[in-house]
Structure 1
Amino acid sequence: MAQQELKRDLANRHVQLIAIGGTIGTGLFLGSGKAIQLAGPSIIFAYLIVGIAIFFVMRALGELLLSKAGYQSFTDIAEDYLGPRAAFVTGWTYWFCWIMTAMADVIAVGVYVKYWFDIPQWIPAVICIVILLALNLLTVKSFGELEFWFALIKVVTILLLIAIGVILLVIGFKTDTGTVTVKNIWGHGGWFPNGITGFLLSFQMVVFAYVGVELVGVSAAETSNPEKNIPSAINKIPLRILFFYVGALIALLCINPWTGLNPSESPFVKTFSLVGIPIAAGIINFVVLTSAASACNSGMFSTSRILYNLSKKDQAPSRFAKLNKNHVPSNALFISTFVLSVGALLSKLIPEQAFGIVTTISAICFIWVWGVVLICHLRYKKKQPQLHAESKFKAPFTPFINYVVLTLFAIILVIMLFAEATRPALLLTPLWFVLLFTLHASRSRKEKGNKVLVKNQQSTDA
């Protein structure tokens, strides 16, 4: 039935802006403050390294998605190349990834609103969740349109920041912290003021800054021309990384030395306030607020589609595959929204620690998903050499680069184990995987038992 299929209502401009929205979010606007405190100016290198790694993950994902017309999610790919157990674990983990990310975003909404109103963080978080839920219950086109405008706001903000940075550099503008100069980047302790340790410890937050870049893959099921739109969006990722991340960070550090940034505040708000425009800080706070809302909106979209696909594959309750009259998986959307609302509860219970905990768990789970993509690509190249040879969107430098990126991910996890701030979340996250493997084993035993019962019944009837 037509009603039981997702509609391909996302146009090219929607997909392109969803890809941009996926690469600019709370991790950059808020999380970069903490990362800068840890690494100092070397944070620029950390963003470059992780950004390059993510690009190769996306190229592998792009080739896999376009290798078979029926692929709609990570679970489809994992099932073909790693089996049903890996598909089950990866599908539910990707759902959990976005739940954690959306939690971080609603927590950030509360932090930003406190800039204007001295109210508990959880109140604006709840209001944000309710509004975005209502919008997501409309057509997928409305989601694309909302993301389009949210992403435009982010892009304009960073363009403005970079432009202002260039102008201030040229005129030698003086702020409360000194003259705007390129030397501000390395002039306060060098490139590695906190040593190699601080540089390595920043990688967790840097990884979180990139979560969501693969959303262009999740949206493949609902784009009107995936063969054209997906490669186009993926190939533009390097330019976006250089411009929106590295460019923005260089502008920030030229205007404001890294030592003058507060890790608990948005460095963007702080930097614009130094420029001397009275309303600048308030405007930028509004921008980063919309950025957090945008990322939460993406979280609602992706988690509902993941549950929909899991249900269609009988890996989740069948009611999650039900679509409303707007072809939106409303039941899946409701349950995902209910779970991510725990973020608002965390804002109330542990407002100071909440953001750090959920971003760490999110980064760990995304590393799992990205790792699965790379491993699937290795298996695809080995099992389907003909498809790889005929691919019009081959991932470059494979299989060598797959192993390099997988090694980098493993190193980042080890770093998290030795970092006091991330160790508790890293040690707790494996419980999620134990739960999933246990559930899958239980489901498999039940299915085998049902097959035996059916076979015995058939034998008796015969």
Structure 2
Amino acid sequence: MHHQQTELQKGLKIRHITMISLGGIIGAGLFIGSGSLINMAGPASIFSYAFAGLLVVLVMRMLGEMSIVNPSSGSFATYAREALGQWAGYTIGWLYWFFWVIVIAVESIAGANIIQYWFPSLPSWSLSLLLTFLLTLTNMYSVKSFGEFEYWFSLIKVVSIALFLILGGAIIFGLIPGVESPGTSNLLHRGGFLPNGISSIFLGITLVMFSFMGSEIVATAAGETKNPEKAITVATNSVIYRILIFYLGSILVLVTILPWDSHTLLKNPFVSVLEILKIPAAAQIMNFIVLTAVLSCLNSGLYSSSRMLLTMAQNGDAPRMFLKINKKGVPLQAILGCTAISYISVGFNYLSPDKIFLFLVNASGGVALLVYLVIAFSHLRMRRKYEKENPEALKIKMWLFPYLTYATILAIIVLFIAMAFIDSLRSQFFLTTLIALSVIGSFFVSKNKKSIDLLPEEQNQMSLHSKAE
């Protein structure tokens, strides 16, 4: 056992981490999903994004504080285990892994549908498997290859959003000849700024939270860079302007230029803005950008799920076969394990899209909120521990501790419970709760089974090892 390499490769550079932190928050949800939210809440949808963004900023601040003291590829699952107990690390680790393997399947299917726009004769199922296979290869080769692909995917997304904001601003301020500025007509004169009431903002927040999932990947990736402290500092400090510029900036441009009740929003609001400028092949350009966002999410999903599976195996919560790390410092078996589950999920989409696959997607729907909740609870305990044992290690500190941490916990709990009272999210609430309770139950069942199977001497060794941790 000891001759086997157990160290992940420190192959990610600061430029990789910087660009991953910038582009990681920009997903297909922004390019496509934002339209339906604006159509539902009107111009006030910007408040939904602002509040959800604020929660993510606070959670990322907590995660950054813990990560800079203890950089780990297991990230928040490691901190949950240390702060709340083995059951918490086990539960949130498996839930997070489950979330990402389902996302890999969803994104591969979305990517296949986009490619069919150009090549309609190719079967969607084969394209889904091909995309997953190709990005699996990049993750298998080295962590540096993952970083390079994610760097360029993120760069394309960041440049695209930056150009969109410049063009949108030019339209709003009437700087483009032949294109009339909408002024405030779409903001105030189509039923007002809050056409569907305050409840639509609240509903929007619960939907938007899922769009921000992925911000936490940087904390995992920092464990595979030679300078984790600098990487985490860059990612943590930049999260505010990432959300402010990329999300709030884009939504402000969209709600100002496009009528909130327009049906074009339900297709692709970004294409609609480009068509106002009479840009040739606007749909083609946007399809390419959305495909980039999808591939980026797929790439990140394979990386995140494999690292979480490796961490679970290291803690004895997953089969030991996933412990193996090859000569390039890559957890090969963990990557293949995640890929295999995603292949199965893609198969479910074509065999039973309205039952099994829909169940899996809905069951993962509330995981984002549970992950953020566990990070916040872990932070409460870990911050007090760090202040007693190693206060000089706190290079990044959560603002107004513990009050903002308590406020974040309360807000997340309210949002999660609110899902039970929203028709479109009720099934996600109950299925996520069911899956979470099942995972917690499996922990205690497996723990009891291990205790029965172990010899008395082994039980004593396990107990001593647990205390040492």
Is TM-score (shorter-chain normalized) higher than 0.5? yes
Distance 1:290 1:354 in 2: 28
Against the structure 1 CA distance between its residues 308 and 86, is the aligned structure 2 distance closer, same or farther, given a 3 Å change threshold?
same
Letter in 1 for 2:337: I
Distance 1:70 1:115 in 2: 41
Structure 1 contact 165–254 (Cα < 8 Å) conserved? no
Residues 1-400 of structure 1 mapped to structure 2, 5 A cutoff: 1=3, 3-68=5-70, 72-118=74-120, 121-171=124-174, 179-262=181-264, 264-345=266-347, 347-348=349-350, 361-387=363-389, 389-390=391-392, 391-400=394-403
Against the structure 1 CA distance between its residues 42 and 347, is the aligned structure 2 distance closer, same or farther, given a 3 Å change threshold?
farther
Structure 1 residue 270 displacement after superposition: 2.9
Structure 1 residue 280 displacement after superposition: 2.2
Letter in 1 for 2:433: P
Structure 1 residue 253 displacement after superposition: 2.2
Alignment gaps of 5+ in structure 2: 462-469
Distance 1:84 1:183 in 2: 55
Structure 1 residue 35 displacement after superposition: 1.7
Structure 1 residue 304 displacement after superposition: 0.7
| Mapped pair 1:416 → 2:419 | yes
Letter in 2 for 1:34: S
Structure 2 contact 362–427 (Cα < 8 Å) conserved? no
Structure 1 residue 196 displacement after superposition: 1.9
Distance 1:456 1:95 in 2: 28
User: Which 10-residue stretch deviates more, 259-268 or 287-296?
Assistant: 259-268
Distance 1:282 1:36 in 2: 23
SS at match of 1:3: coil
Structure 1 residue 25 displacement after superposition: 0.7
Distance 1:353 1:183 in 2: 44
CA RMSD of aligned residues (A): 2.8
Alpha-carbon displacement from aligned partner over 1:227-285 (angstroms, at most 9, x marks no partner)? 11101111111111110001111122223222224465332223223321121221111
Structure 2 contact 71–223 (Cα < 8 Å) conserved? no
Alignment gaps of 5+ in structure 1: none
Structure 1 residue 316 displacement after superposition: 0.6
Distance 1:241 1:253 in 2: 17
Structure 1 residue 221 displacement after superposition: 1.5
Structure 1 residue 195 displacement after superposition: 1.5
Structure 2 contact 302–338 (Cα < 8 Å) conserved? yes
Which residue of structure 1 aligns with residue 410 of structure 2? 407
Structure 1 contact 165–251 (Cα < 8 Å) conserved? yes
Distance 1:226 1:66 in 2: 7
Structure 2 contact 362–432 (Cα < 8 Å) conserved? no
Against the structure 1 CA distance between its residues 169 and 457, is the aligned structure 2 distance closer, same or farther, given a 3 Å change threshold?
closer
User: Which 10-residue stretch deviates more, 245-254 or 63-72?
Assistant: 63-72
Alpha-carbon displacement from aligned partner over 1:292-348 (angstroms, at most 9, x marks no partner)? 110110000110111111111111101111123332111111121122235534553
Against the structure 1 CA distance between its residues 203 and 251, is the aligned structure 2 distance closer, same or farther, given a 3 Å change threshold?
same
Against the structure 1 CA distance between its residues 104 and 196, is the aligned structure 2 distance closer, same or farther, given a 3 Å change threshold?
farther
SS at match of 2:316: coil
Structure 1 residue 47 displacement after superposition: 0.8
Letter in 2 for 1:337: T
Alpha-carbon displacement from aligned partner over 1:131-174 (angstroms, at most 9, x marks no partner)? 11122111100000000000010011111111111222233769
Distance 1:438 1:398 in 2: 33
Alpha-carbon displacement from aligned partner over 1:401-442 (angstroms, at most 9, x marks no partner)? 111111211222222212222111221122222221222112
Q: Give the fraction of aligned pairs with identical amino acids, expressed as a percent.
A: 34
Against the structure 1 CA distance between its residues 161 and 209, is the aligned structure 2 distance closer, same or farther, given a 3 Å change threshold?
same
Match of 1:449 among 432, 447, 452: 452
Alpha-carbon displacement from aligned partner over 1:55-102 (angstroms, at most 9, x marks no partner)? 111111111122236674222211111111111111111111222333
Distance 1:49 1:247 in 2: 14
User: Which 10-residue stretch deviates more, 256-265 or 193-202?
Assistant: 256-265
Which residue of structure 2 aligns with residue 434 of structure 1? 437
Structure 1 residue 456 displacement after superposition: 11
SS at match of 1:171: coil
Structure 2 contact 42–255 (Cα < 8 Å) conserved? no
